[in-house]
Structure formats: structure tokens, C-alpha cells
Amino acid sequence: MMRTRPLKVALLGCGVVGSEVARIMTTHADDLTARIGAPVELAGVAVRRPDRVREGIDQSLVTTDATALVKRGDIDVVVEVIGGIEPARGLITTAFEHGASVVSANKALLAQDGAALHAVAEQHGKDLYYEAAVAGAIPLIRPLRESLAGDKINRVMGIVNGTTNFILDAMDSTGAGYQEALDEATALGYAEADPTADVEGFDAAAKAAILAGIAFHTRVRLDDVYREGMTEVTAADFASAKEMGCTIKLLAICERAEDGASVTARVHPAMIPLSHPLASVRGAYNAVFVESDAAGQLMFYGPGAGGSPTASAVLGDLVAVCRNRLNGATGPGESAYAALPVSPMGDVVTRYHISLDVADKPGVLAQVATVFAEHGVSIDTVRQSGKDGEASLVVVTHRASDAALTGTVEALRKLDTVRGVASIMRVEGE
């Protein structure tokens, strides 16, 4: 039986995403009512600039007092799309305390304080949903915590930032340098005026923390995620990758140790074979590759950012939370029962591609090979080229720990015949 009293929604933030959420709530009102079992009503919109014209939004709903809005006793669901840590954290906590469930797209806050927010939600018997926090329109969080709840996930590896993928794809396809590709991304609106959060991996690291926590039933905070940006990736790196039949992507990688006793979460550029599904992800698209015991390999692909895609994920959560509200129930909360330790980056085992500038004379290769052997790093292939007394030496290793590779590189730098380490890049997806 359809309920006639509407479920009331408070919207915090009315920028690119928030305005799309409001628009879809209005234009799809009848469909949302049918899917939920009751009407949904936009009851208030909290903004910083109340005088700005917002097409399709009743100006009488607009307020600058977000705290008063979430404290209203008649609000059923708060949708938070303002981002950042504060005031978002305080507003979400207040919403729970005053009887509302919350839908959020705030990756930074969830990566830093997700456990505490889940605890407050559970204390008050309310929902906290955040599908939009990780990969825009791509359904990912719900499949991980619901569809795959009976499976054992071993690895989640993906491209979770559209800006960086656009830049790296441009470098790969055109031979452009990093700055040239970044300038193009900025001109086309894919990169912010200050792209630091994207290109230095902060955005992807927050998403990796969220994904690892869900996949491994373990609390993983942003500080647990190793992060390395992509600003040092060069056209020469892409040339080397192509010689190996690879391309380069900025990857978020969350994986369970082989013995199952710990997990790791990391973000860094990596070479991946052209045969891997992630290698074909072009432009500003996102994709996440999941490996589990029973389901095997799964791929989730689509637009990872933008007003409409992100709003789609927000509205999906809103429908689920409203249904729970009508049924007097709550959906899945935090699952951290495994409580696995998060290993440091030094314990991570992978392959490496190392480019060295060396003296072009007899015995250099033997010296370099000896250093690798002394540190327990096995060499897969070596390629040497050069003239006029200078040479380039490219070494690709078998799988080795990050700590072992770091020790190897430190020792190589001390050799008189090694002029410098041109680049070091991990090789993933094999």
C-alpha cells in the first residue's frame, strides 16, 4: 500500500552534484514514489551563497543554517554533498542524533572517520550509505558489501580517478609530456585549477581506504594507504612500457596477503599489460577489477565523476535508505569483524621496472646484477643501450618486496658506474 505522507529530504550542498540530485528528485518524482512506496519531498537545501540563482529549486527551501536544517525533527534523510571534513562531520553526526539517516558522497571524511560515523549511525539505528563516494555512477560499494558478502575478496585494483586517467591516456596516445597533458585536461574541464588532490593521489587514496575496509571487513584509514603521485611519469616511461607491451595507469590496489593474515592498500602509477582489462580504460573513465574466491574476476566500468553520474549513485542510495525507513529497518553497516592488520608498503611484493643511467664500459652489467642478487631480488630481463661512454640499463625484476627493492636501489646509487636512477615503476596485473 502506498504511503501518502512524503519522506522529507534535506540536501546539504547545491553545487554540481547537489543541483543534479535536486533536479532528478523533481523530474523523476513519480518514478521515485513508485519505487520507494512513498513520495519524497525536498524539504530544505543548505548552501553557503543563498543569493545565487538555482534553477528548479524553490528559493524558500534555501538556507545558510545547515545545523538547524538537520536538527529538524521531520527530516527523514540528509543528503550530504558538501565534501571536506568539517562542517560535514558535525552535520552528519547531528543528523543521526536527530533521527535522520544519511546519504553521503564524502570520500575524504569516510576514509578518515568512517568507523566513528558508522558507530553513531548504529547507536541511533540509522543508515549511512555512500555509493557515490568512490566511483561516481559505477555500482561498486553495494556489490562489495552485499552481492559479494558470501565470498572472499582477495584483491581490488582499479582506476578510480578520471582526471589522472585522462592525463595518462593522453600521454600514452599522443606522446605528450605530463605538463602538456595536464594543460589539455584543465582546458577541457577534467582537471581543477589546483589538481593536487588528483595527480598526487590523495583522491584515489581516500577511495582505496573505503574499498579496502569493505572488501576485507577491516578498518582501513586514509593514513594506512601508501600514496605516490604521477607527476614524475614521463614520455620515456611510456616508451619503455610500450616496449614491454604495457601502458601506465594510476592504480588503487587493495589486496589480501597470500597467507590471508594481513592486507595492504596503496595508490601509485604502475605498468600494466595491454592484455589486462584496465589497460583499455580510456579518457576520464573509471574501472575497478575485483578478484574473489568464488566469483573469480569481475570488472566494474563507467563514468567515475561529474554531476549526473554522481547524482545517479546518490539517488540510488536515497531510494534504498527511504525503503529501509518505510520498513523500520536499516541496511548493512560497518563490517570490521576480521580486524586484519594493514601491512606497510615495505611488505608489498610485486614486479619492478628500473631504468639506470650507467657508464658504457665492460663489467657494469655484472656489477648491477651482483647488487640485485645480494638483496634477494631476482632479475627477469635486462636491456642495455648506449654510446660515447654513457648507457641506459633497463632491468625488469621478478616479484620482490618493496623493502628489498628499496635496499637494492640504495646500493646501486653507491656504485661508481651508476650515474643515476632514471625511473622506478611497479608492474601490476600479471
- Residues classed as catalytic: 207
Pairing of strands 153-159, 246-256: antiparallel
Q: Which three cell numbers stand for residue 7?
A: 519522506
Residues linked to residue 354 through DSSP beta bridges, in sequence order: 395, 424
To 10 degrees, what angle do helices 307-327 and 16-27 make? 60
Contact 57, 79 (CB under 8 A): no
**Alpha carbon distance 227, 338 (integer Å):** 24
**Alpha carbon distance 356, 336 (integer Å):** 43
**Alpha carbon distance 423, 430 (integer Å):** 20
Alpha carbon dihedral 67, 69, 74, 80, in 10-degree steps, equals -90
**Alpha carbon distance 341, 413 (integer Å):** 33
* Helices and strands: H and E segment counts in the chain: 15, 17
**Alpha carbon distance 220, 419 (integer Å):** 40
Q: What HEC string does 20-65 produce?
A: HHHHHHHHCHHHHHHHHCCCEEEEEEECCCCCCCCCCCCHHHEECC
What's the half-sphere exposure (Cβ side, CA atoms, 13 Å) at 38?
Answer: 20
Nearest to 350 by CA among 398, 420, 285: 398
What's the half-sphere exposure (Cβ side, CA atoms, 13 Å) at 171?
Answer: 30
**Alpha carbon distance 159, 180 (integer Å):** 21
Nearest to 233 by CA among 309, 168, 162: 168
- Provide the 3-class DSSP secondary structure of residue 262: coil
**Alpha carbon distance 190, 171 (integer Å):** 15
- Provide the 3-class DSSP secondary structure of residue 166: helix
Pairing of strands 349-359, 379-387: unpaired
